[in-house]
Amino acid sequence: MFIVIPITMAAAFSNVGTIVAPVPGSSALCSLKSNFLNLIHQADISVQGKTLESTQAYINICKHFQMISEMSENDLKTLGHSVGFSPVLDNPSAARYNPTQAGAGTHGGNGLCNNRPFSSASEYQIAAQEATTIINIANTAIQHKLSRYVDTSMSVINNVIYGVATSNTLMTATNLASEFRPYYETKSNYMIWYDYAVIKLNHLFESIDHIGLTQKLDVSLRIWLNCGTVNVTVGGNTSGGGSNMSYNITPSNNTFSNTCPLLVHYEASNRIVPTLTTNIVCGVYVARPPVTNFASMNLSLANAAHPLQNCRLYYSQITMNPQHAVNYNNTNTNKKVIYRSFVTNNYPSVSSGGSFNQLINSGIVHPTGVLIVPFLGAVTGTSGGLGDGQYKSPFDTCPCTTSPVSLTYLQVSVGGQNVLESTLQYGYEHFLEQVNLCEQLTSSDFGISTGLINQNYWENSKWYFVDETTSAPVCAACPLGKYKAEPGNFAHTSCQNHSIGTLPALKDQTPALPC
């Protein structure tokens, strides 16, 4: 089963309240961050009125980690496009950090930024010979995401293949809409991108994948989507062809309350952003944009009309041979379904250089692992960077990538017993070890594999995973060997240079009955 959500991105350039016409390259202004799951903040599912998997905030972050740790390179190249990935992961080596909240010349935003789609330099920083070369390193995954949208506004640029007119193009926007293909168009100087977010329910709920065939399924599904608008301030764009252009945003100019799935792209020229632009107002919405009032731009005036006006759920129907159906029903009556789920917590304010010790959950039964995801926290002041949680940034690929900040002296305990033999200066070798112990991620004949997470990726985008499969406490008084519900803690010393927010997620195996 999978759902399809009609996603519309809309944007406008403003010059002190007056709309500015887009340029031919403005179709490269926006894209969705990798993985359509990042459009979802939380979700729950119930069967016949009984909750199967309860509501968990930031489920997109946990599920994104699970997907990239289980996908292969072939999966990414063949199936990735359909579920919102590029053929390559976002390049964390292309990220830059700007601590100045007011913005600075040649910076693609404030805080951690990874929004440069184009460059003539090497994809990796190993080829850098001077500072200007490092500045121009691009995130090539963005280029693939941009190619997802057919530009119907400039038929001449597109070699007369796609366009508005029917007399000199092979395919029009009407043709693309009838085929449910993502495309870009302009209306009254507003920019509009139409997309179709395909989300497999087994990527969101593992229980759905393990239920199997049923004659009747009474399911209720609730999904909370990450939709909102951002107002980006553009500086240094009055002269010089945009070579000294800068982006910045304040928390009050960002209506995303949780994850921002929108990425606003940057290039130090006027090939994407027109000259004299002072603000970029853009957002992500379902079907059509609402009324907005940033920089005197009302995106509802774009009159965007998504070809798909409602969300859809697709499922398979199978006709079985009657004899086989009877046998299947008899052997699968009262079938026990075992699946993995997450319980998440969010601690947005962990002081830099300080010690942190926190109870995650006191009622988890049969925990199999804990995933700790550190993000740059909200810091106020002129040198505070974004001034908000890293996952709210329209300039960074977070939560698809995190940051290179370190957690030191890491320890996890279950039921008062330490899981790790000693506190760890956690590195990539520990990540491999813990993944191997859990045996929940993919493996290969040539040793340990962690899906798409290699050493270079992990060192620039850190995920801390600790196995708990060997530490789940069994009730000694129970002859059935059931698992007890015990409190779980984790402790660490945070990054010395920046306050962070941490998202610990306990992974458990369900159902497991407490005594």
- The closest alpha carbon to 511, from 259, 338, 332, belongs to 338
CA distance 113 to 236: 18
Report the amino acid identity of residue 467.
D
Classify residue 416 by its DSSP letter: T
- The closest alpha carbon to 489, from 403, 404, 367, 399, belongs to 367
| Residue 442: Cβ-neighbour burial (10 angstroms; 0-12, 13-18, 19+) | middle
Instruction: Scan for tokens 């001077």, then name that residue.
Output: 130
Residues 279, 14 contacting (CB under 8 angstroms):
yes
251 phi/psi in degrees, rounded to 5: -55, -30
Pairing of strands 30-32, 262-264: antiparallel
CA distance 255 to 38: 16
Both structure tokens of 144: 């693939």
In sequence order, which residues have a C-beta less than 8 Å from that of residue 400 and are 6 or more positions away? Answer: 33, 34, 35, 38, 64, 89, 90
Classify residue 207 by its DSSP letter: H
Both structure tokens of 473: 């406490």
Domain residue ranges of the chain, discontinuous segments joined by +: 2-313, 339-510
Pairing of strands 171-172, 162-163: parallel
Both structure tokens of 487: 């409190």
The predicted structure's pLDDT at residue 242: 83
- Does this model's pTM top 0.85? yes
The CA–CA distances, whole Å, from 443 to 436, 450, 467 equal 8, 7, 16
Angle at the Cα of 463 from the Cα atoms of 458 and 468, rounded to 5 degrees = 125
Angle at the Cα of 486 from the Cα atoms of 484 and 487, rounded to 5 degrees = 170
- Contacts of 306-309 with CB under 8 Å at 24 or more apart are 306/6, 306/7, 306/8, 306/194, 307/6, 307/177, 307/178, 307/180, 307/194, 308/4, 308/6, 308/180, 308/196, 309/6
What is the three-state SS of 96-152? EEECCCCCCCCCCCCEEECCCCCCCCCCCHHHCCCHHHHHCCCCHHHHHHHCCCEEC
The CA–CA distances, whole Å, from 215 to 317, 320, 439 equal 10, 11, 34
The predicted structure's pLDDT at residue 161: 79
Residues 53, 47 contacting (CB under 8 angstroms):
no
- The closest alpha carbon to 192, from 65, 301, 332, belongs to 301
The predicted structure's pLDDT at residue 437: 78
For the domain 339-510, what is the CATH code? Answer: 2.60.120
Residues 285, 225 contacting (CB under 8 angstroms):
no
CA distance 393 to 86: 20
Per-residue pLDDT of the chain (515 residues; tens, 9 = 90+): 899 999 999 999 999 999 999 998 999 999 999 999 999 999 999 988 888 899 999 999 999 999 998 899 999 999 999 999 999 999 998 999 998 887 777 889 999 999 999 875 444 444 444 444 455 678 999 999 999 999 988 755 555 678 776 557 788 888 899 999 999 999 999 999 999 999 999 999 988 888 878 878 889 999 999 999 999 999 998 887 888 899 999 999 999 999 999 999 999 889 999 999 999 999 999 999 999 999 999 999 999 999 999 999 998 888 888 888 888 888 777 777 788 888 888 888 888 777 888 888 767 777 888 899 999 988 877 777 888 999 999 999 999 999 998 888 999 988 788 888 888 899 999 998 888 877 644 444 444 567 899 999 999 999 999 988 766 555 444 444 444 445 566 675 656 555 666 676 766 655 433 33
CA distance 52 to 510: 10
